[in-house]
Amino acid sequence: MIRVEGLIKRFQGNAVLSGIDLEIQQGEIIVVIGPSGTGKSTLLRCLNFLERPDAGRIRIGNLDVDAARPRKADILALRRATAFVFQNYALFANKTALENISEGLIVVNRWPKDKAYARGREILERIGLADKADAYPASLSGGQQQRVGIGRAMAAQAEVILFDEPTSSLDPEWVEEVLGLMKQLAEERQTMLVVTHEMAFARDVADRVIFMEGGRIVEQGPPSELFSAPRDPRTRDFLRKVLANQASLQS
């Protein structure tokens, strides 16, 4: 289980996160929605310590970190407990698909190479890219690169995978294959915290949807409730805009 308490992050004095409290059960799939610049990505980046929070407490399993005064070992442990999927894939350009996935097992978990590559191949199989083991990122499509990015996160066997707008920089033709893989992970009850603008994914896959605005969690609940009967006017306003936009695309 993951518990975040009073997480605060400021950039040059501006609060981007103004006290986030969040609990995530094992196997839970949470989607975070909200307008741009409301701290959704910052929340994910703080959980992974890519950004250093100014205050708060993060607990994952036995790990209990005072976010304002983390020890170096805490940061590494926290990063090992949380895997990250980046908007722009961020694959290691000098490594093949297989090496990208196995790299963490070899370097961070200190597995022997053949064991790490065997696991890497299993994961390539699961993400449907078994034939691309020796391909470098530059030769892969955007969708394939992001699937390798997800594969890299899967290999980490983290408590939770954090997805930071995983389909936002993809060409539309590749979005479905990435969302499909995420659904597959959700069905396997991989704990996930997903920031996305894909409302259909949120509705179909999430156990809980969180609406954030202004660095705060405004409202949260099961997608059936949040989408059909949002309580807060800000949630209503946001959903009206987004859903109108998506409906106009479909018609």
Partner 1 sequence: MNVLDVDYMLQLVPVLLSYLPLTLEMAGAGMVLALILACLLAVIRVLAIPGLNALTLLFISFFRGTPLLVQLFLFYYGLPQLFSALTEINGITATILGLTLHFSAYMAESIRAAIVGVDRSQTEAALSIGMTNGQLMRRIVLPQATRIAVPTLMNYFIDMIKATSLAFTLGVTELMGATQKEAAGSFLYFEAFITVAVIYWGIVELLAWLQRRLEARFNEAYQR
Q: Which residues bind partner 1 (CB under 8 A)?
A: 48-50, 76-77, 79-80, 82-84, 86, 88, 90-96, 103-104, 107-108, 136, 138-139, 152, 156
Reported as type and span, the H/E element at residue 87 is none
Q: How far apart are CA 84 and CA 164, in angstroms?
A: 8
CB neighbours of residue 16 within 10 Å: 21
Shortest distance in whole angstroms from residue 147 CB to partner 1 = 15
Q: In which element (H, E) is residue 8 found?
A: strand 2-11
Taking the least distance from each CB to partner 1, the nearer of 105 and 226 is: 105
CB nearer partner 1, residue 18 or residue 87:
87
Minimum distance of partner 1 from residue 167's CB (angstroms):
16
* Minimum separation from the CB atom of position 91 to partner 1 (A): 7
Q: What CA–CA distance (Å, rounded) separates 81 from 89?
A: 19
Q: Minimum Å distance from CB 85 to partner 1?
A: 9
The minimum distance between CB 244 and partner 1, in angstroms, equals 33
Q: In the complex with partner 1, which residue's Cβ is closer, 96 or 167?
A: 96
- Burial label, 251 (beta-carbon count in 10 A; 0-12, 13-18, 19+): exposed
d(CA 55, CA 25): 23
**Which residues are CB-neighbours of 151 under 8 A, at least 6 positions away?**
97, 100, 101, 120, 123, 124, 126, 127, 129
CB of 101 to partner 1, least distance (A): 10
Nearer to partner 1, 38 or 145 (CB): 145
For Cα atoms 25, 240, 179, give the angle at the middle one, nearest 5 degrees. Answer: 45
Give 79 or 183: the residue with its C-beta nearer to partner 1: 79
Closest CB to partner 1 among residues 7, 226: 7
